[in-house]
């Protein structure tokens, strides 16, 4: 195997996700094992633009495998979307003799990496890291499993109050325009209803479901509201329901950013290790403009072009049907 790569830069970009640190550790140590120097770009693409690059060694990633967030920090960089920003990033990579980039993030991060690579010929490998699980080319993204577990732990707690007071709760969960966290958390918590971006539900249909719950002698009711659903935020949906059924006194909880934090689950740590390790090995093989992902129990490689043009989370009608039957 010929190693033509002298130095690489690794960065985390977009929303932070639990397991990003475990992944940084895997990238750094796999690269060092193969005699490749590693720089960490601080705050995602901003670090490349501002030459905020930190040389990393094996010890700089000690004691981080269990930490949420990202030691490299992350950002949503507007400047990287401009020609000038990309040019500055390229100049800094050249000045530091960096030949390749490993980016850990979501679809936006991959879009940026693809454009950058096509424009300047820099080798890039993407590693899927986002709680949204909204990327084609992998069954799971780093951070999703932990976020789902955090979400269901929070909903279970709300269920205690809902049960004790015979209340109706609308709980808004993250996921941008993907309903993956919403549907899975609805199944895991026995939620009575779920509003998803991938499925149109009218307010009348939702009210009917809730009224049917009352008729079936349900005391508490939990409605999971995916942030990207078409009816509106949990507050808006709650108001619309209250307007139609006055005797409900609905409560609203927006789980928000607590879903992104915390120590990564065993699943996310293993996934992060495998994907970080594979990303560097792909670079060594000469691969570029691609992402590593998990399919079944195998690591697969998908070209960024393909990953970015395919839509990801499709409504699994079988899961939806099962959820509906199991919550009668
Ligand atoms: N078309 C693009 N050209 C250049 N850079 C881009 C482009 N799209 C996104 N980026 C860069 O990638 C960054 C991260 O993208 P985005 O904010 O969409 O998050 P993400 O990677 O999809 O992660 P998540 O969805 O989990 O937050 C952007 O802030 C921007 O710097
Ligand atoms: O933290 P920010 O920038 O408000 O972004 C929130 C978004 O990021 C995510 O947490 C991860 O993509 C989405 O689920 C959510 O829509
Ligand atoms: Mg995204």
In a domain, 257, yes or no: yes
The answer to whether position 318 is within a domain reads no
302 & 273 share domain: yes
| Domain containing residue 271 | 7-143+264-309
Task: Determine the residue of 132, 147, 229, 257 to mutate for testing ligand 2's pocket, defined as the one with the most ligand atoms within 8 A of the Cβ atom.
Answer: 132
Residue 130 CB–ligand 2 contact under 6 Å: yes
74 within ligand 1 shell (Cβ under 6 A): no
- Which structure tokens are listed for 267? 């699943």
pLDDT confidence tier of residue 313, bands split at 50, 70 and 90: low
pLDDT (tens digit per residue) in 167-206: 999 999 999 999 999 999 999 999 999 999 999 999 999 9
Ligand 1 atom closest to Cα of residue 116: 4
The answer as to whether 1 is a domain residue is no
The verdict on 125 and 214 lying in the same domain is no
Examine the pLDDT at 248 and tell me if it is beyond 90.
Answer: no
From the number of C-beta atoms within 10 Å of its C-beta (0-12, 13-18, 19+), residue 134 rates as buried
Q: Is the pLDDT of residue 1 over 70?
A: no
Q: Tell whether 322 is covered by a domain.
A: no
Q: Which DSSP string corresponds to 30-92?
A: HHHHTT-EEEEETTTHHHHHTT-EEEE-GGGGTT-TT--S-TT-----SGGGSHHHHHHHHHH
Evaluate whether residue 119 is within a structural domain: yes
Q: Which strands form 7-12's sheet, in the order they lie side by side?
A: 53-56, 37-41, 7-12, 100-105, 123-128, 290-295, 298-303
Q: Whose CA is nearest to atom 7 of ligand 2?
A: 176
Element (H, E) at 147: helix 144-165
Considering its fold, how many domains does the chain have in total? 2
Give the tens place of pLDDT for each residue, 217-230: 888 899 999 999 99
Report pLDDT digits (tens) over 112-153: 999 999 999 999 999 999 999 999 999 999 999 999 999 999
Nearest atom (ligand 2) to Cα of 131: 11
Tell me, yes or no, whether 21 and 138 share the same domain.
yes
- Do 73 and 38 share a domain, yes or no? yes
């Amino acid at each position: 195997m010929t190693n033509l790569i002298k130095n690489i830069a690794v960065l985390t970009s977009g929303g932070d996700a639990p397991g990003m640190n475990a992944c940084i550790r895997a990238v750094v140590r796999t690269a060092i094992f193969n005699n490749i120097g590693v720089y960490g770009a601080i705050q995602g693409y901003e670090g490349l633009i501002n030459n905020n690059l930190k040389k990393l060694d094996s010890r700089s990633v000690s004691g981080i495998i269990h930490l949420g967030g990202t030691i490299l920090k992350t950002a949503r960089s507007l400047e990287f979307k401009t020609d000038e920003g990309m040019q500055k990033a390229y100049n800094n990579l050249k000045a530091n003799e960096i030949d390749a980039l490993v980016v850990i993030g979501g679809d936006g991060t991959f879009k940026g990496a693809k454009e950058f690579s096509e424009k300047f010929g820099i080798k890039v490998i993407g590693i899927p890291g986002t709680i949204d699980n909204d990327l084609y080319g992998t069954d799971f993204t780093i951070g999703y499993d932990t976020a789902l577990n955090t979400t269901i732990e929070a909903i279970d707690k709300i269920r205690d109050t809902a049960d004790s007071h015979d209340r109706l709760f609308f709980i808004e969960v993250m996921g941008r325009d993907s309903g993956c966290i919403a549907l899975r958390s609805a199944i895991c918590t026995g939620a009575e209803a779920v509003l998803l971006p991938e499925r149109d539900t009218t307010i009348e249909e939702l009210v009917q479901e809730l009224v049917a719950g009352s008729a079936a002698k349900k005391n508490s009711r939990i409605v999971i509201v995916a942030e990207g659903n078409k009816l509106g935020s949990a507050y808006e949906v709650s108001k619309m329901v209250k307007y139609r059924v006055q005797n409900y006194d609905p409560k609203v909880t927006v789980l928000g950013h607590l879903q992104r934090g915390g120590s990564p689950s065993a699943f996310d740590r293993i996934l992060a290790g495998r994907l970080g390790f594979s990303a560097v090995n792909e670079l060594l093989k000469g691969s570029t403009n691609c992402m590593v992902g998990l399919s079944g129990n195998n690591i697969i490689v998908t070209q960024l072009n393909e990953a970015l043009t395919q839509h990801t989370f499709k409504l699994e009608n079988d899961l939806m049907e099962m959820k509906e039957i199991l919550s009668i």
